[in-house]
Amino acid sequence: MENFIKSTLMTSVLFASLTTDAFAQSEPNLHLSTIVNASAVERVAPQYPRNVALVGGEGWVTLSYIINEDGSVASPIVEDSSGQKGFERAALRAIKRWQYSPATKDGKPIKQCKNSVMFSFNMSDAEEGASRGFVRSYRNINNLLDESKLEEAKEHIDKLAKKGRWNRYEEAYFNLVKARYFQLTAEPRQELEAHKGIIWHGKDIVKSELYANALINAIKLQTQLQEYKGALKNHKKLMELDGQDTYKSAVQPVIDEIVALIADKSKMLVIAAEIKNDDVWTHALVRPNFAITEVSGALHTLEVRCDNQFSQFKFAENMQWNIPKSWGECNVLVFGEPNSSFKLIEVQS
């Protein structure tokens, strides 16, 4: 099994130097500090879950984490995944064993606070394309959707999900039919997750038009759900595509609206949030200040993970957190009891 099973990873580490007082310096030497990013010493690949491997399952997991002053990894969190809990557990176990040469500021070890990694679980001998059984089920579900038989379509979607044997091609097209179903049932959150599953596989798995269409749908849904940072990132992916000018021009008014909204100091961004079963809710901030109100349930702590700062707080309702510009881009993580709901309000300085 080990001879043909492989897991790969792609790492993205973001880090910024502190320059808050750069323009206040009167001395000729304006240098503030020298920051050297952490570098990997040991990165352990995750073990492929045996039960998933036996049915040919493939998938991916994206984690965020902190690198401590001693080079160890702390506070890993699942940011996104293809949905298989086995892959998520394997990724979390592996990253806890990683070791870095720590980041330094003027030669002294410091924490590196905003890091992310994607683990890709692929079978090296997996067939390209879909099995006959998958194609039959896929066509059957689409026919049911054509006939507006939504309950029956949902039964077949659930049945297909339980069958297993997921290679990347099958997973991409399974997400395609799920996105169509959730669009017809007006479930934007679930539809967005399905489009994310298509986007992750990229235009090498699905046709470029389908990939571009998934990006546009994701951008519109992320705007509706106020995930503005994600919408802007997907727009960047769309603009990097060759051609697809029709898609690019179609979504530009939405992007212009997002940029104007973020810059408008007279308007607050109010995001309705709910903690699901995994006890944490995450959000990419687009403004430097935020507050949490209208809490139903129990919230315990929150973390602010920025390019070069990590802070943890006990939760306090109706308190405003103000993030210095020098911290860079930030994500907020709210921890609490499952099914707790609240509103996060982003405001300009």
Query: What's 313's DSSP letter?
Result: E
Question: What confidence score (pLDDT) does residue 15 get?
Answer: 28
Question: What confidence score (pLDDT) does residue 9 get?
Answer: 42
Question: What confidence score (pLDDT) does residue 239 get?
Answer: 93
Per-residue pLDDT for the chain (349 aa), expressed as one digit of tens each? 333 333 434 333 322 222 233 323 333 444 445 667 888 899 999 999 888 777 777 788 989 999 999 999 999 998 888 778 899 999 999 999 999 999 888 888 988 888 889 888 877 655 567 788 889 999 999 999 999 999 999 999 999 888 765 677 888 889 999 999 999 999 999 999 999 988 887 677 788 889 999 999 999 999 999 999 999 999 999 999 888 888 899 999 999 999 999 999 888 999 999 998 778 899 999 998 999 999 999 999 888 888 878 888 888 887 888 988 888 889 999 999 999 999 999 988 7
Question: What confidence score (pLDDT) does residue 215 get?
Answer: 96
- Phi and psi for 269 in degrees, rounded to 5? -100, 115
Question: What confidence score (pLDDT) does residue 180 get?
Answer: 96
Question: What confidence score (pLDDT) does residue 205 get?
Answer: 78
Domain range 5-123, CATH architecture: 2-Layer Sandwich (3.30)
Quick check: helix, strand or coil at residue 262? helix
> 132-263 — its CATH code?
1.25.40.10
- 81 within 8 A of 61, measured Cβ to Cβ: yes
Q: Distance between CA atoms of 167 and 239, rounded to whole angstroms?
A: 28
Domains in the chain: boundaries:
5-123, 132-263, 269-347
What are 136-144's contacts with CB under 8 Å, separation 24+?
137/163, 138/173, 138/174, 138/177, 141/177, 141/181, 142/177, 142/180
Tokens linked to 239:
């603009």
Q: Say which residue the tokens 């896929």 belong to.
A: 138
Q: Which segments of the chain does DSSP mark as H helices, in order?
A: 50-53, 85-95, 132-146, 150-163, 168-184, 188-201, 208-224, 228-239, 245-263
Q: Distance between CA atoms of 291 and 20, rounded to whole angstroms?
A: 24
Q: Which helix (H) or strand (E) holds 289?
A: strand 289-296
Q: Say which residue the tokens 């990694």 belong to.
A: 117
Question: What confidence score (pLDDT) does residue 316 get?
Answer: 83
Show Cβ contacts of residue 280 under 8 Å, excluding neighbours closer than 6 positions: 77, 333, 334, 335
- Nearest residue to 309 (alpha-carbon basis) of 288, 331, 327: 327
Question: What confidence score (pLDDT) does residue 278 get?
Answer: 74
Distances (CA, A) of 174 to 133, 144, 182: 13, 15, 12
The CATH number, out of the four listed (2.60.40, 2.60.120, 1.10.3470, 1.20.120), of the domain defined by the range 269-347: 2.60.120
